Structure 1
Amino acid sequence: MAADKFAMSRDGEDILVEKNFAQLVYLAGKFAGLSTTLLDTQAILADLSGTQAKSSEIRTILNLRDAYHYAMSLQYISEVSFAALLKINLFVIGAGASGAGQIRVQPVVVPLTDMMYQPAIPDETQVKREFADLVQSEATTTDKAITLLLWLSRAQLFLDGNKRTAIIAANALMFADRRGLLAVPENKLAEYLQRLQQYYKNGDTAIFGF
C-alpha cells in the first residue's frame, strides 16, 4: 500500500496547485501526444500570443485547464463521485466531442508496441460499484489515487481521453484530502507508458514496483 507522504492545509494545497498548475496541464497533455512545450502551455494558459501551437493543441490544453479547475473545486473525497468522474472526462475531451462524459458502449482497440489491446465494453453498474469500492476503501488516499489512475487507464471507460481523465481524477482525490499531487515526470514518461502497456496486458500492478 502506498503511504500518504503529505498532510497539507487547505491553503498549502491551494498554493501547491497554483504554483504547479501549468506543469500539471503540460504533463497531462503529454498523454495526448502533444508536441507543445511547457513555455507554450504557460503562454496558452495566460492567453498570450506568440505560441506556434496548433489550434487543436490549444483546445486540448484549454480543455485540460477546465478539467483541472473542476477537479480542484472538489473539496472533500465524498465529492469525488462517479458523476464527478464523468464530468472530468466531459471537460477533458470537450462537450461537443462524441461520447464526452459518457461510459462507452462500443468496442475500442488500443494499439500497443507488439499487439492490439481490446478492453471489455464497460458495464456501467459494475464500474460504478468498483469506483465506489475503491474510493470508500480503507486504503490511504495516495494508494487510492494510484489505483484509480491505473484502473481508469486500463479499463478505457471512455471513447477518448482515458489517461488524461485518469491522472486528473487521481489528483482530484489527492487534492480533496490535501495529500499533495501526483505527476509522471517528463523524463519518466516513456518508462511509465512502457510499463502501462505491460499492465494493459496482464493487469498486474507489480510492473510498477508495488
Structure 2
Amino acid sequence: MSATKVELSDKFNLTLDQNRFLARKNIVEVIHSISRLEKVNTTFPQTKTIIDGMSVGGISTHDIQVVLNLKNAWQFILKSDTPFDLDFACRVNAFVAYNESLAWGVLRTGNVGISGVGYVPSIPIKSDIENTLNKIHNLPLSKTVLIIKTMYYMMRQQIFWDGNKRTAIICANYQLILSGLGILNINENQLEIWNNLLSEFYETNDDDKIIAWTYEHCLYGIE
C-alpha cells in the first residue's frame, strides 16, 4: 500500500436522504457503466429495460445476469446502513458474482492473474485485509480520498474470485452515500484512460495518480 500524498477535500456535503435520492436517480447510469467494465454488450436503453424487469432480445444470458446482479447489489446498498467492513464487502460480492464465479461472497483461496500486467496478487488473508482497511481508514486524508483509496486497494488485492472491480465500485458508492459525499461513476467514455491508470497502479502500487484522476472526473453530487 503506497503512502498517498493526495490532499483533496470532500467535494460534496449531502444528507443521507439527498445522497440516496441521487443514487436512485442514477441507478441505470451507474449499473450500465459498471457493466461495461466487464464488456457487457448492452446499450443504455437495453440496460434500463433489464433493470425494469422486462425481457430484451439478442442479449446473452451472461450479460443479463451481470446487469441483474448489479441491480441487486445496488438495491442492497441503498437499503443498508451498517458501517462498511470486509464482511459487508463479502455480502456485496455475493450479489455481484452470483452464479458467475467459483464461489461468491467469500475470499479467494487460490491464485489468479490480472490480464495485461505482470503483478500477481497474493492469496488474501482475512486478518491482513482487515488490518489494511483499518490502516487506510485512519490515514489523515479526507473521507472521499480514503474511500477511493480503499476501492483501489480492493481492486489490486483481488480479494474475491470474480467481480472485484464491480464489488469495489459498489462498496465505494455505499461509503460515499452513507457519508453524504456523492456517488462515483466511471463512464464508458473514460474507460481507456482509466484502464491505463489502473494497469499502472497494479504494477507500481502507487495510487496517487489514479486517485487524483478519479476525484477530478468521476464524482457526482448535488450542487
- Determine the structure 2 residue equivalent to 1:188: 190
- Determine the structure 1 residue equivalent to 2:105: 101
Structure with the bigger RCO (C-alpha within 8 Å, sep 6+) is 2
CA distance in 1, matches of 2:55, 2:123: 42
Q: Structure 1 residues 34 and 128 mapped into 2: Cα distance closer, same or farther (>3 Å)?
A: same
- Determine the structure 2 residue equivalent to 1:140: 142
Q: Structure 1 residues 33 and 180 mapped into 2: Cα distance closer, same or farther (>3 Å)?
A: same
CA distance in 1, matches of 2:171, 2:60: 26
CA distance in 1, matches of 2:211, 2:180: 25
Three-state SS of the structure 1 residue aligned to 2:150 is: helix
1:30 CA drift (Å) = 1.3
| 8 Å CA contact 1:82, 1:132 repeated in 2 | no
| 8 Å CA contact 1:43, 1:51 repeated in 2 | no
- Determine the structure 1 residue equivalent to 2:54: 48
CA distance in 2, matches of 1:157, 1:50: 33
Question: Is 1:85–2:53 an aligned residue pair?
Answer: no
| 8 Å CA contact 1:141, 1:173 repeated in 2 | no
| 8 Å CA contact 2:101, 2:162 repeated in 1 | no
Q: Structure 1 residues 209 and 72 mapped into 2: Cα distance closer, same or farther (>3 Å)?
A: closer
Amino acid in the other structure paired with 2:84: V
1:99 CA drift (Å) = 2.2
1:51 CA drift (Å) = 4.1
| 8 Å CA contact 2:69, 2:97 repeated in 1 | yes
CA distance in 1, matches of 2:53, 2:111: 38
Match of 2:8 among 2, 23, 31: 2
Three-state SS of the structure 1 residue aligned to 2:26 is: helix
Unpaired runs of 5+ in structure 1?
none
1:149 CA drift (Å) = 1.5
CA distance in 1, matches of 2:133, 2:58: 40
TM norm structure 1: 0.91
Question: Is 1:110–2:114 an aligned residue pair?
Answer: yes
TM norm structure 2: 0.86
| 8 Å CA contact 2:78, 2:174 repeated in 1 | yes
Three-state SS of the structure 1 residue aligned to 2:183 is: coil
Match of 1:73 among 54, 72, 79: 79
Q: Deviations over 1:81-101 (max 9, x none)?
A: 221011011110016742211
Amino acid in the other structure paired with 2:203: K
| 8 Å CA contact 2:118, 2:203 repeated in 1 | no
Instruction: After TM superposition, list the pairs within 5 Å mapping 1:197-208 onto structure 2.
Output: 197-208=199-210
| 8 Å CA contact 1:80, 1:173 repeated in 2 | yes
Question: Is 1:30–2:36 an aligned residue pair?
Answer: yes
User: How many residues of Structure 1 are paired with residues of Structure 2 in the alignment?
Assistant: 206
Amino acid in the other structure paired with 2:93: N
